[in-house]
Amino acid sequence: MKLDVDVPADGRRHQYCWGCRAETVAPHHGAAGFTCATCGREYGRSLVVDPALDWWTDPSGEYWHRTAGVFVRRADGRYLFFERVFFPLEWTVPAGHIDTGEDPAHAASRELREEVGLSAPPSDLVPLDVTDIPGDSCWRGSDAHRWHPYLLNVPLETTAEVLEEGRDPRWLTPSEALSRPLTFPVRTLLERHATTTLT
């Protein structure tokens, strides 16, 4: 998505309606999505421009975010996945946006703790290839993300509880995960690494 609003240079967060681009959206109460007070429509996402997040536009005007994610591998070769309850409503791994100035490994460690309650220092995370994924849509309005994926090996007895943005954590093999409706970037990364690093 091209960034098609004139964002004020005030250093503040701005959130626009996905349809009419009015800055009059509010989250649904008790459900995922947003309602616009100007056009009256409801959308699963909005357009958020936030100086606290690492974002940019490329020469074509495409709006990009940076994301860090962790493939958590248990000693039996199964990985931690969970179902998102916010856009996009598909299966994913612990992941999230990187803050402005934040080291990607620290962001991955933070997201791991915030989303599934697992603590791991950045030094325990094994970096995979940094990957640009056009077509990766998030609820904040970007359709292109630069992913910083990591691998974390954990003991067989490790358990996880989804704390934010999801439900139903499952330990799955790569082939089991690929049979589910995965988010576009997680499917892309899993297919890329399933026969090499993620085995």
Is this structure's pTM higher than 0.85? yes
Instruction: Give the model confidence (pLDDT) of 68-117 as tens digits.
Output: 999 999 999 999 999 998 899 999 999 999 999 999 999 999 999 999 99
The pLDDT of residue 81 = 97
CATH topology of domain 63-193: Nucleoside Triphosphate Pyrophosphohydrolase (3.90.79)
Rounded CA separation 181/168 (Å): 14
Q: Are 118 and 112 in contact (CB under 8 A)?
A: yes
pLDDT (mean) for 162-186? 94
Torsion of CA 95, 100, 106, 110, to 10 degrees: -50
Rounded CA separation 50/15 (Å): 8
Task: Identify the H or E element spanning 109.
Answer: helix 104-116
Q: Where are the domains of the chain?
A: 14-51, 63-193
Q: Report residue 36 as tokens.
A: 């616009």
Helices (H), 117-173: none
- Cis previous bond, 88, omega within 30: yes
CA-based torsion, 110, 113, 118, 121: positive or negative: positive
The pLDDT of residue 198 = 75
Q: What b-and-e string marks burial along 47-83, b requiring 16 or more CB atoms within 10 Å of the CB?
A: bbbbeebbbeeeeeeebbbbbbbbbbbbeeebbbbbb
